[in-house]
Structure 1
């Protein structure tokens, strides 16, 4: 079997194995049809299933410096479910050439609507939203740079070795923390759900505690002021919950593109409108857009693969 075809067959076999662990799985006819397509499909599935059965007997592996996991989509309206040891052991091996590493193991890119988790050797974790770029430094294991997009950081604190996140001109230093960072065009947003961060300690030295957030633009001469935020909404994109308080519709559309791969265009006459409320990004994308239109006083119309909001 050609290497590309073998990789595709392995990916499909893993997908079938994971799906079959869901008690609600019912597509046995589809599974049988896939097995019958070629003898290699049945052979590949048997091999993957056999490896799955043997995984529990394997000795614990040494902790890698960085583990990258392609997250399964999670929605607030459905129970999250993950496929177990076979997914952790094999998905990375099968999907790794397409992870966006581009030959540089320290650069991680996600497509719009794609979520990934990076587990670091010190126990810290970075959850990356779609359409984002994170850069790590193998010589600085407690450092990350958010070049663009959004990520949630869960940091194991060390008094003598703080974890540092750079985003644009900003430097964010943890003091035992879980916090979300968004990097848009010349703008950085930080919101803290646990602990404390210091924003630009060498210049602005703004202390941001749990339940607070800041918005800062590149070139600002004044330090940003910490404002109250809803802790429950920090990093809500991970479960499909987006909460806003007077946010321009264009920013909401950008977030929907990043989080769910949705294309929402704001008509010029609606560009100055702001949005307050919560959106649940469900499998029914049309419903999400309908909620956005109703809460923002706009009208939604389908256009190609996306939607447009007008007054």
Structure 2
């Protein structure tokens, strides 16, 4: 990620720059300038000031045009992502600047799309900031890292690895709005007059005072909200971050599952949710018929490694548990392999699980 983009939120003075200050001879117009910056490995101060001024403009459609032109082969998929407002979560992807070297072409293309989506999300954050004049804080966690935050209203947030959380220094107005990319467990301070609202880009979760978990990583096919105590209302959101008509009310031991490609909110039972969520934030992961792809995605962020599961294994389910603080990475992956009758091989910095490695 170009260095300093987070300072957009932390240092409002950056917004005072003007478009004409940028004098690079490399670019001739706004569209070329956008393409040039999105392909550039690192931004200097002038680059950041130019981009901030562009984000302050009323028309950001050039970003969409660039994404379409660069990815004609993937335009349908990219448009789906744009339409689902997944840009909030793409912050995590572009922050790492796509460090995995395998499948260079595919990852390069994804990083470019991620940059476009990141900027689209930044516009919404910036405009909200300007409208309400509220200083925002941005906290993110590295692979394998967790953090606990105490908000100004007394709400506690446990941030899982590879996640990003945006919240105000002090809550004002009639609602307590925050934004999440990744996963977090919330213990919300009760306030009947000011609901607590979590925006992930695909879901809008509203509560008065309760405990729940939201899992909304941008590169996953799903997002979930699981309720431990209290009551939660969940809506999906449109391209413009508007709340859709569909709403799901959740009580303790229930969850809603959102899938990115059909806009559906599916309500399910989730027994012993309070116990499982408490243990999860302490590194104990429990699964009861969970899709194996979700399990390996969890292990990937918890251990801070890259795990590649062969596509023919994606539809299997898993029953069992892991303790991240006690079980080694290799022992956990070995359990997965035994369950799938597969083998494990490390290729570069990626752990690959495939049946063709069984017996190696």
Same-fold call, TM cutoff 0.5? yes
Report whether the alignment pairs 1:107 with 2:138: yes
Given the superposition, is the C-alpha separation of residues 108 and 266 from structure 1 closer, same or farther in structure 2, using an over 3 Å criterion? same
Given the superposition, is the C-alpha separation of residues 296 and 235 from structure 1 closer, same or farther in structure 2, using an over 3 Å criterion? farther
Query: Deviation string for 1:138-174 (max 9, x for gaps)?
Result: 464622111x210000101111111111112311111
Q: Match of 2:186?
A: 153
8 Å CA contact 2:178–2:198 kept in 1: the answer is yes
8 Å CA contact 1:257–1:263 kept in 2: the answer is yes
Query: Deviation string for 1:4-53 (max 9, x for gaps)?
Result: xxxxxxxxxxxxxxxxxxxxxxxxxxxxxxxxxxxxxxxxxxxxxxxxxx
Partner-residue secondary structure (3-state), 1:145: strand
Partner-residue secondary structure (3-state), 1:290: helix
**What CA distance in whole angstroms lies between the structure 1 residues aligned with 2:233 and 2:331?**
39
**What CA distance in whole angstroms lies between the structure 2 residues aligned with 1:215 and 1:235?**
20
Q: Higher strand fraction: Structure 1 or Structure 2?
A: 1
Report whether the alignment pairs 1:195 with 2:230: yes
Moved over 6 A (4+): none
Given the superposition, is the C-alpha separation of residues 137 and 187 from structure 1 closer, same or farther in structure 2, using an over 3 Å criterion? farther
Report whether the alignment pairs 1:295 with 2:339: yes
State the superposition RMSD in angstroms: 2.5
**What CA distance in whole angstroms lies between the structure 2 residues aligned with 1:196 and 1:203?**
19
Report whether the alignment pairs 1:310 with 2:343: no
Structure 1 unaligned residues grouped into runs of 5+: 1-103
**What CA distance in whole angstroms lies between the structure 2 residues aligned with 1:208 and 1:153?**
15
Q: Match of 2:247?
A: 205
Q: How far is 1:264 from its partner?
A: 2.1
Given the superposition, is the C-alpha separation of residues 222 and 257 from structure 1 closer, same or farther in structure 2, using an over 3 Å criterion? closer
Q: Match of 1:97?
A: none
Given the superposition, is the C-alpha separation of residues 264 and 223 from structure 1 closer, same or farther in structure 2, using an over 3 Å criterion? closer
Q: Between 149-158 and 247-256, report the one with greater CA deviation.
A: 247-256
8 Å CA contact 1:180–1:235 kept in 2: the answer is no
**What CA distance in whole angstroms lies between the structure 2 residues aligned with 1:268 and 1:224?**
24
Given the superposition, is the C-alpha separation of residues 169 and 270 from structure 1 closer, same or farther in structure 2, using an over 3 Å criterion? closer
Q: Match of 1:247?
A: 290
Match of 1:215 among 239, 247, 257: 257
TM-score calculated relative to the size of structure 1: 0.59
TM-score calculated relative to the size of structure 2: 0.52
Query: Deviation string for 1:249-299 (max 9, x for gaps)?
Result: 332222112122133221244334332322222352211111222233332
Q: Higher helix fraction: Structure 1 or Structure 2?
A: 2
Match of 1:136 among 162, 167, 183: 167
Q: Match of 2:214?
A: 181
Given the superposition, is the C-alpha separation of residues 226 and 111 from structure 1 closer, same or farther in structure 2, using an over 3 Å criterion? same
Q: How far is 1:212 from its partner?
A: 1.0
Given the superposition, is the C-alpha separation of residues 188 and 309 from structure 1 closer, same or farther in structure 2, using an over 3 Å criterion? same
Structure 2 unaligned residues grouped into runs of 5+: 1-134, 236-242, 356-360
8 Å CA contact 2:254–2:267 kept in 1: the answer is no
Q: Paired residues, what number?
A: 207
**What CA distance in whole angstroms lies between the structure 2 residues aligned with 1:260 and 1:215?**
24
